[in-house]
Amino acid sequence: MGNNRSVFSEDELQDYEDLTYLTRKEILLAWRRWTELVGSNVESDKITRYPEETIQELPELKNNPFKDRITRVFSSAQDSRISFEDFLDLLSVMSDKAPLHLKAHYAFHIFDYNEDRSLDEEDLQTVVEKLTGGDPGLLQKEKTKLVDRLLEETDLDGGGISEEEFKHLLTKCPDFVHSFRFSL
C-alpha cells in the first residue's frame, strides 16, 4: 500500500483530527492497525463494515470479557460490524485525551446489557460474571451481595443506576480514566 498519507486527503485528516481526540500521527497509525486487522486489500475503503470477530483480534480486545459489547456499542449501525470510522471512534474514546464524561458514557452503554438505559440487577450480575470469569471460588451469594451493595450505594431513586448516577460513581474512581484506555 505504501504511503498511508495517500489514503487520506488533507481535508479527511483534518476532519478526523477535529472529530476525535487523536492526532494526525495516531490516525495514520490507526489506519495501519486497521489494515492489519481487515487485510491489506482494503486499499482506501473507510466505510466497509467488518464482522466483530475481525475487530476482536485487536490485542486490546482479544481477551477482554466485554469485547462483544464493545464492538456492539461502537458499531454505528448497532450490528456489531465495524467500519474504519467506528474504529477511530473506539480508539478516540479509549485514548488518554478523552474526558471522563465521554469514557463514562461509553462504559455505561457497554455495561447496559439489556439496553434499557439503566444498570439494573440483571446488568450488574452479567458484569460481575464477566469480570470474575465465572470463578467458582466466588459463591453466587457473594456475587449477589456485591450487586446489591452497588445498587444500594449508587442507585439513588430505586430505578436502576442511571447514566448520571454512573458518571457520579466514576468521579470517585480516579483510576477509571487510566484503565479505560488503549495505547496506539
My answer on whether 105 and 41 are in the same domain is: no
My answer on whether 138 and 89 are in the same domain is: no
My answer on whether 14 and 81 are in the same domain is: yes
Assigned domain for 1 exists: no
- Average pLDDT on 144-161 reads 90
My answer on whether 74 and 123 are in the same domain is: no
Which residue do the cell numbers 469480570 mark? 131
Q: Give the domain extent around 118.
A: 100-179
Cβ count near 49 (within 10 Å): 18
Q: How many domains does the chain have?
A: 2
pTM (two decimals): 0.89
Residue 4 has pLDDT above 60, yes or no: no
Q: How far apart are CA 171 and CA 184, in angstroms?
A: 25
- pLDDT tier for residue 2 given thresholds of 50, 70 and 90: very low
Q: How far apart are CA 162 and CA 78, in angstroms?
A: 21
Residue 102 has pLDDT above 50, yes or no: yes
- pLDDT tier for residue 41 given thresholds of 50, 70 and 90: low
Residue 66 has pLDDT above 80, yes or no: yes
User: H-type helices in the chain, by residue range?
Assistant: 10-19, 24-38, 52-55, 59-62, 67-74, 84-93, 100-111, 121-132, 140-154, 163-171, 176-179
My answer on whether 115 and 43 are in the same domain is: no
Assigned domain for 2 exists: no
- Average pLDDT on 168-184 reads 86
Cβ count near 68 (within 10 Å): 17
pLDDT number for residue 21: 97
- Average pLDDT on 83-94 reads 96
pLDDT number for residue 108: 97
My answer on whether 108 and 139 are in the same domain is: yes
